[in-house]
Amino acid sequence: MKRCWMIIISAFLYARARVVEALKCALSLSALARIWKSQGVTEDNKLSTSFDEVSVYPIPAILYLIKNLLQYYIFAYVDAPAYQILKNLNIISTGVLYRIILKKKLSEIQWAAFILLCAGCTTAQLNPSSDHVLQTPLPGWVMAIVMALLSGFAGVYTEAIIKKRPSRNINVQNFWLYIFGMVFNLIAICIQDYDEVMNKGFFHGYSFITVCMIVNHALSGIAVSMVMKYADNIVKVYSTSVAMLLTAVVSVFLFGFHLSLAFFLGSTVVSISIYLHSIGKPQPQK
């Protein structure tokens, strides 16, 4: 029964994620409109572009769509605690693909910090039922690994394309990213949910909480693109991990959440990881 509810919740979040792309696109366009009004249309902030520039944007949109689909099906094999722990594979995959694709060097100390970050996040999420992760069937492990690789590759690839033209306005780049995300999600709706949408309507089941979640996810997505534009995927991974810990702390005051010893241990390890990463930056060669 619990697994059934996990599948239902995952499907609910997946359906709402389709609206998030449209909202992110609208917010990016709104930001552009304000820029055009104050600064005028320039070569770097105009929407019109070449085929060569826009042709790279569908790739991360497809990768994220496949990842979201797998996120829906993985709950047939794992429960929520196991899924949260398996998600930490994203940390390692991001670091490896960051090194391979972007050719960015990480020092030995930073690699050690990355491993500690993964261990710290995993430890912070441990609970009495976390041992179920070791009983995850092979299809669950395969999907978790594929999801981690897709997430890592999509993130690193997105960073590469938005940094390829540094002067290009981030809102223009976001607009094209989200446009293709909308297109592919629309195709997914037609394939998977056409009958339900036609019978019940697209916004069936929406509530105030749903709208708040959509707005939160949209703003978070835009913030992540800003991080990748002006920082990198490593900073994104660390900020996401810290956000997870802060969310748990806030939950203590909002929902009466009780922090475990494992959470404090994991938080300590994450803090050590952040410190090691900051002091372990490769020194420029003289």
Tens digits of residue pLDDT in 127-136: 766 666 667 7
What's phi and psi for 244, nearest 5 deg? -60, -45
What's phi and psi for 46, nearest 5 deg? -80, 150
> What's the whole-model pTM score?
0.85
10 Å CB burial of residue 6 (0-12, 13-18, 19+) is middle
Q: Do the beta carbons of residue 98 and residue 237 sit within 8 Å?
A: no
- What is the rounded CA–CA span in Å between residue 234 and residue 228? 9
Which DSSP symbol is given to 282? Answer: P
pLDDT given at position 196: 77
pLDDT given at position 254: 83
pLDDT given at position 128: 64
pLDDT given at position 130: 61
- Structure tokens given for 115: 């491993």
pLDDT given at position 110: 93
CB under 8 Å to 95, separation ≥6 — which residues? 106, 111, 114, 234, 237
Around Cβ 114, how many Cβ atoms within 10 Å? 24
pLDDT given at position 129: 61
pLDDT given at position 10: 46
Segment 208-257, tens digit of pLDDT: 888 888 898 899 999 999 999 999 999 999 998 998 888 888 888 888 88
CA nearest 143: which of 240, 69, 59, 62? Answer: 69
- What is the rounded CA–CA span in Å between residue 23 and residue 222? 10
What's phi and psi for 157, nearest 5 deg? -65, -40
* Residues of the chain under the 70 pLDDT cut: 1-18, 128-134, 283-286
